[in-house]
Structure 1
Amino acid sequence: MSLGDEQHGYGGTGQTRTRLPEGDPYGGARRTARSSSRSLVTVVGVVVLLIAAIAFANRGGDDSAADNTPADATKPETTATAPTGVAPVRTGTGGIPTGFAHDQQGAESAAANYAVALGSADMFNKAKRDAVLMSIITPSRVSEFKTTLDQAYTSAFNKNVGLNPDGSTPAGYTFVSRTSPIGTKTTEYSAGGATVEVWCSGLLGLAGENSTNPVTNSWFTITMKLEWTNGGWKIVTHSQKDGPAPVPGDERASSADEMAKAVEEYGGFTYAR
């Protein structure tokens, strides 16, 4: 399935992946309180995290100095919370990392980064979108992807997500479109190609007073078929499905100003693993 089959909303797809909360989404009201047992579990979890953080900070030693270890050096230990894999690549094109290793981990790293690029605000600008596609799509499919996405990112679609018909952001608002990979899984791999699934969380919407398209969160899984061509991993096909999605937490929704400030002050990541 090509990108055109799925790219009509979130990160290039037209489907609404989240339901807006009832009433004022930025009103600050908390969700219905959970049971006292859940609150106790939450408190215990926070205490455990604090103890772990203190232990980590007090380890000391000379290993706190700047590390100039090459990319193929010792890998970190694999645990439930620690990152795995070798050091990140150090080259990029148009803000998108390049030079991923010709192995399974390299394919997963490429797929994670490409998910970030396809879910970025750049996709709503024709010139920037074409530049993204030139960087991550296999050469033989670039033209097809451009045509498909030009048909998807229409004036009507832009208005549907709260933008002006030309894709620009209305005055007084901050447009948010950001995808964060949570994990990757390779389902097929060979020296010439790989199929990688990327589990993602995403943000989409307009932050600002009286926004009718407030920033909402969604969870989805992107499947990419990649091929090794011209010394790098490139996308051949792309599809997307909802979930897996966790149970929402108890935190209150942030105000429009808080959300806009967060997006402006916290830069997104361009490299996973």
Structure 2
Amino acid sequence: MSLGDEKGYGSGSGRTDDGYSTIGGTRQTRTRLPDGEGGDSYGTPRRPARSSRSLVTVVGVVVLLVAAIAFANMGGGGGDGNGGGSGSAGRKPDSSSTAATGTKPVTGKNGSIPSGFAHDEQGAQSAASNFAVALGSVGMFNAENRRTIVQATHDPAVVENLLADLTKAYSPGFLQNVGLNEDGTTPTGLTFVSRTVPVGTKVVEQSGDRATVEVWCTGLVGMAGQGSTKPVNATWFTISEKLKWVGGDWRIESSSQTEGPTPVNGDNRASTADEIAGAVEGYGGFTYAR
């Protein structure tokens, strides 16, 4: 996730003037292991939600999807024993599209960021998912943490120029615009929320030591707590990452972002600011893998 005024993120970063933009198939991202550590390190600012619907829209969409699948699989009247109709309309998805591979996603961590991804298509997808989460996290709003994150996720050849651009992008004025203090700290009594959740991945291109992976994400961004003037919103976006195998692991050469695909919002009641703050502080992040 990332934010407006970040024009300097680089030609492939996807950063825009929008204060809530982020930098950020058939193959699905699998959630493997909860990190028992704080979840706020894995989030991301993005574009404002288009409506005032609840932050639990994702849950509503899942419920509606399950109901739709169940309804579609019900036997129809006057057909063959397989539910009627012919052609591919009644075919079920290949189970391999969502089944776990059984391969351990990573062998270690670089600080709080997973590392040691496999040098193959599956490893590239896992790396891209975890990088999307880290690069949109609350840590990106602190200069020291930002350097650590960028060094852990990017090709060393692009790190210094990228950090210089980011220093200009995360200016005191920009930080104030998103509700933070000029030094990037959160105002007393509030909780800054910035979290990205990968929904799926797709390998666009992969050859040897290079791969391009798209990560479809949903995310939360805003300020939670009593008196907040920037409530937490949900958004959907797709991050495209160009990866390079460097020093025995995948690293980002460049990235870009597009809006959506965005599902229809549900009718869930929006939670209170205190409920959102409690959820963010109480639920940790995940390690993502194919």
Aligned CA RMSD, in angstroms, stands at 2.9
Q: Aligned AA for 2:160?
A: S
| Native 8 Å contact 2:242 2:254 kept in 1 | yes
Structure 2 partner of 1:199: 216
Gaps of 5+ in 1: 32-40, 49-76
Structure 2 partner of 1:60: none
| Native 8 Å contact 2:46 2:219 kept in 1 | no
Aligned match for 2:50, one of 10, 19, 23: 19
- Post-superposition Cα deviations, 1:217-265, rounded to whole Å, max 9, x if no partner, equal 0000000101111111100011111000000011011001110110011
Structure 1 partner of 2:116: 99
Structure 1 partner of 2:229: 212
- Post-superposition Cα deviations, 1:89-108, rounded to whole Å, max 9, x if no partner, equal 13011111111000011111
| Native 8 Å contact 2:136 2:195 kept in 1 | yes
- Label 1:42 to 1:140 Cα distance change in 2 as closer, same or farther (>3 A): closer
Asked if 1:45 is matched to 2:67, the reply is yes
Q: Matched residue pairs, number? A: 231
| Native 8 Å contact 1:125 1:167 kept in 2 | yes
Q: Which contiguous aligned blocks of 4+ residues in structure 1 show a shift greater than 6 angstroms?
A: none
Distance in 1 (alpha carbons) for counterparts of 2:65 and 2:195? 30
Structure 1 partner of 2:36: none
Q: Normalised by the size of structure 2, how large is the TM-score?
A: 0.72
* Higher RCO structure, 1 or 2 (CA under 8 Å, sep 6+): 2
- Label 1:43 to 1:104 Cα distance change in 2 as closer, same or farther (>3 A): closer
The percentage of aligned residue pairs carrying the same residue is 50
Asked if 1:10 is matched to 2:27, the reply is no
Gaps of 5+ in 2: 1-6, 25-44, 58-62, 71-93
Q: Normalised by the size of structure 1, how large is the TM-score?
A: 0.76
Distance in 2 (alpha carbons) for counterparts of 1:149 and 1:270? 26
Aligned match for 1:247, one of 261, 264, 267: 264
1:208 Cα offset (Å):
0.7
- Label 1:270 to 1:10 Cα distance change in 2 as closer, same or farther (>3 A): farther
After TM superposition, the structure 1 = structure 2 runs for residues 128-167 of structure 1, keeping only pairs within 5 Å, are 128-167=145-184
Distance in 2 (alpha carbons) for counterparts of 1:271 and 1:2? 28
Distance in 2 (alpha carbons) for counterparts of 1:184 and 1:253? 29
Distance in 1 (alpha carbons) for counterparts of 2:261 and 2:64? 22
